[in-house]
């Protein structure tokens, strides 16, 4: 079995994230990791909070906290939300960790040794009102490319173009709002990406043909436009310090590395955190996942489209320039954006639902399934409460939840609290087994290909097959003529419930546990279902005790929808 390294784009530290952030990185990574573990693969799923850079300092200032304390609190708050969504990270680290500082500084030294980092005198914006140089995100203004009036000094959120602060029109300080800005000379380190263009092109040519079009097209667009040398240091108090043994003058000036230099390295740093946190008696080797592992590890990254350039071009350039055998990404799963009624999520305008509020409304499985069933893979998706209610009510409450409740309640009423025996399986059961095996293979194929909307549709089809079988056999009528025939139907349907418990776990882990816990099998350690087992549908022998669980999924009512729209804003908000 292959060893799978999985990372999802690091959530930034300045506040709880909205549903779009969840569906564009961490949730699909968790679904994929869960699936691979169930299939017997060795998996390491790594994530971390991205803690450096201007927004962290500004958010800490607004909160009235030292930036390190602010980040520690936010890390814990975000981790609590991700635990609530049952994101099963092997480790959820921090880019401010000692391990990330050490590895970032090591990589910078190697790039310097190989001639890919150069010290340059630059002209940078200085705020007279603030008495300091302003790093890129401390400056806001109008994007020269699209006219967006709230562009940051490093990137325009509207058109995603990477910017330098001096590119902005009508620039002002994000600290004081002052327009009293002037350009002064200062020294910074530059990563000479232009010298690595050919190597990055070769890397993308070799690996990019496997990537989704969204990821490969963005990477190739950047390469076609040409890689430019990029400043990788900033004038901030919070960040990975420039090492004094290599650049003493810059270290004395308090320079730190640019957040987009150390953040991707944070995947490696968080893996070292995981290794260092091993329980007593357990050995973990972080290098066995990242260093000189050609052919033994498959590395998959998950991210939204705005993060693609940094992961497909800039980070590979950094790794290549070290001349060390760092593991580079094999597959980039990029997502478009989830919008809220076609517009952006906005905390200040009370538009959209954020992940902590979502968990306060409904359990995680409701959100997990809905988000993955409509994942923005081929284009942007739009969240609406009406669509959310429709999917939850039809797929989760009616198709799955009602099937489970009908089968178990009717069987308990007519045959007691053990799986009934009845006749041997006949032609309807054989046909059902073939259909289930076919749909299961389709489900597996889509998950292997990281096609999550198609995988969710195949899972829904598996659930629907059970309902079709139940309607065809109609045990509530069979029992009037032949009790053993009804018992066979119910035994087969219970075997479907157990199969659903196993294969639904990547999408709805809590409901999967509830379904599996319904049956007192004792040694129920099954990870997955083979095609032969799907055809046989006999994992549950007659006589197995069972219980009827509480309702798996409650329907969302019109009254609920009115409450949600009032609280979170909607189309005309």
Binding site, by residue number, is: 143, 146, 156, 159, 347
As a whole number of angstroms, the distance between CA 125 and CA 235 comes to 11
Please give the annotated binding residues for ATP, written as ranges: 347
- DSSP assignment letter at 338: E
Task: Name the strand (E) or helix (H) holding 151.
Answer: strand 151-152
Bridge partners, 145 (sequence order): none
Pairing outcome for strands 3-8 and 297-304: parallel
Neighbours of 565 (CB within 10 A): 17
Neighbours of 120 (CB within 10 A): 11
Q: Between vectors from CA 547 to CA 546 and to CA 548, what angle results, nearest 5°?
A: 130
Nearest residue to 30 via CA among 3, 8, 5: 8
Biggest alpha carbon–alpha carbon distance for the chain: 92
Task: Name the strand (E) or helix (H) holding 567.
Answer: helix 558-568
HEC secondary structure over 85-97: CCCCCCEEEECCC
431: which 2 tokens? 């046909």
Task: Indicate if the alpha-carbon torsion angle 201, 204, 205, 206 is positive or negative.
Answer: positive
Pairing outcome for strands 3-8 and 42-49: parallel
226: which 2 tokens? 């040409």
Bridge partners, 18 (sequence order): 354
Please give the annotated binding residues for Zn(2+), written as ranges: 143, 146, 156, 159
CA distances from 216 to 143, 311, 334, 385 (A): 25, 11, 9, 33
Pairing outcome for strands 256-257 and 297-304: unpaired
Q: Which residue has the tokens 């609290």?
A: 417
Task: Name the strand (E) or helix (H) holding 333.
Answer: strand 331-335
For residues 319 and 326, the answer to whether their CB atoms sit within 8 Å is yes
As a whole number of angstroms, the distance between CA 205 and CA 199 comes to 10
Residue ranges of alpha helices (H) inside 402-482 are: 402-415, 427-448, 452-473, 475-481
Nearest residue to 258 via CA among 191, 304, 178: 191
How far from the centroid of its chain's Cα atoms is residue 361's Cα?
21
For residues 183 and 190, the answer to whether their CB atoms sit within 8 Å is no
Q: Which residue has the tokens 């309902």?
A: 467
As a whole number of angstroms, the distance between CA 349 and CA 67 comes to 26
Q: Is 274 exposed, middle or buried (0-12, 13-18, 19+ CB in 10 A)?
A: buried
Q: Is 530 exposed, middle or buried (0-12, 13-18, 19+ CB in 10 A)?
A: exposed
Bridge partners, 48 (sequence order): 93
């Amino acid at each position: 079995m292959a060893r799978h390294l999985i990372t999802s784009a690091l959530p930034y530290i300045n506040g709880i994230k909205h549903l779009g952030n969840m569906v564009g990185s961490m949730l699909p990574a968790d679904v994929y990791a869960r699936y691979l573990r169930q299939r017997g693969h060795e998996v390491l799923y790594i994530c971390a909070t991205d803690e450096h850079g201007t927004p962290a300092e500004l958010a800490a200032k607004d909160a009235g906290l030292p930036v390190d304390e602010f980040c520690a609190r936010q890390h814990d708050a975000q981790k609590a939300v991700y635990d609530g969504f049952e994101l099963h990270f092997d480790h959820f680290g921090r880019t401010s960790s000692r391990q990330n500082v050490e590895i970032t500084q090591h990589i910078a030294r190697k790039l310097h040794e190989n001639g890919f980092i150069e010290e340059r005198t630059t002209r940078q914006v200085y705020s007279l009102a603030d008495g300091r140089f302003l790093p890129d995100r401390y400056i806001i203004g109008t994007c020269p490319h699209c006219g967006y009036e709230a562009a940051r000094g490093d990137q325009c959120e509207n058109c995603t173009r990477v910017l330098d602060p001096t590119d902005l029109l009508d620039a002002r300080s994000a600290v004081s709002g002052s327009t009293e800005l002037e350009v002064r000379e200062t020294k910074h380190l530059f990563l000479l990406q232009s010298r690595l263009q050919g190597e990055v092109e070769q890397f993308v040519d070799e690996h990019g043909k496997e990537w989704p079009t969204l990821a490969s097209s963005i990477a190739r667009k950047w390469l076609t436009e040409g890689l430019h040398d990029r400043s990788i240091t900033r004038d901030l108090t919070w960040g990975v310090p420039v090492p004094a043994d290599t650049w003493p003058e810059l270290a004395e000036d308090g320079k730190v590395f640019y957040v987009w230099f150390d953040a991707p390295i944070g995947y490696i740093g968080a893996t070292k955190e995981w290794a260092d946190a091993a329980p007593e008696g357990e050995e973990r080797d972080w290098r066995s996942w990242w260093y000189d592992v050609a052919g033994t590890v498959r590395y998959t990254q998950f991210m939204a489209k705005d993060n693609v350039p940094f992961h497909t071009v800039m980070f590979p350039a950094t790794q290549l320039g070290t001349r060390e055998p760092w593991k580079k990404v094999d597959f980039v799963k990029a997502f478009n954006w989830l919008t809220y009624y076609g517009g952006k999520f906005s905390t200040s305008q009370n538009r959209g639902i954020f992940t902590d509020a979502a968990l306060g409304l409904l359990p995680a499985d409701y959100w997990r399934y809905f988000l993955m069933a409509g994942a923005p893979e081929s284009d942007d998706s739009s969240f609406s409460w009406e669509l959310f209610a429709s999917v939850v009510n039809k797929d989760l409450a009616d198709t799955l939840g009602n099937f489970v409740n009908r089968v178990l309640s009717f069987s308990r009423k007519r045959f007691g609290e053990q799986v009934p025996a009845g006749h041997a399986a006949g032609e309807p059961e054989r046909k059902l087994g073939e259909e289930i095996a076919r749909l299961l293979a389709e489900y597996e194929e889509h998950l292997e290909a990281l096609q999550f909307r198609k995988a969710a549709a195949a899972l829904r089809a598996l659930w629907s097959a059970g309902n079709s079988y139940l309607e065809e056999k109609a045990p509530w009528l069979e029992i009037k003529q032949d009790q053993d025939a009804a018992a066979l139907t119910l035994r087969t349907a219970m075997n479907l419930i157990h199969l659903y418990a196993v294969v639904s776990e990547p999408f709805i882990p809590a409901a999967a546990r509830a379904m599996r816990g319904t049956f007192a099998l004792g040694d129920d350690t099954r990870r997955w279902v083979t095609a032969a087992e799907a055809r046989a549908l006999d994992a549950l022998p007659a006589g197995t005790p069972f219980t009827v669980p509480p309702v798996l999924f409650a329907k969302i009512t019109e009254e609920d929808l009115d409450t949600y729209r009032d609280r979170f804003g909607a189309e005309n908000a």
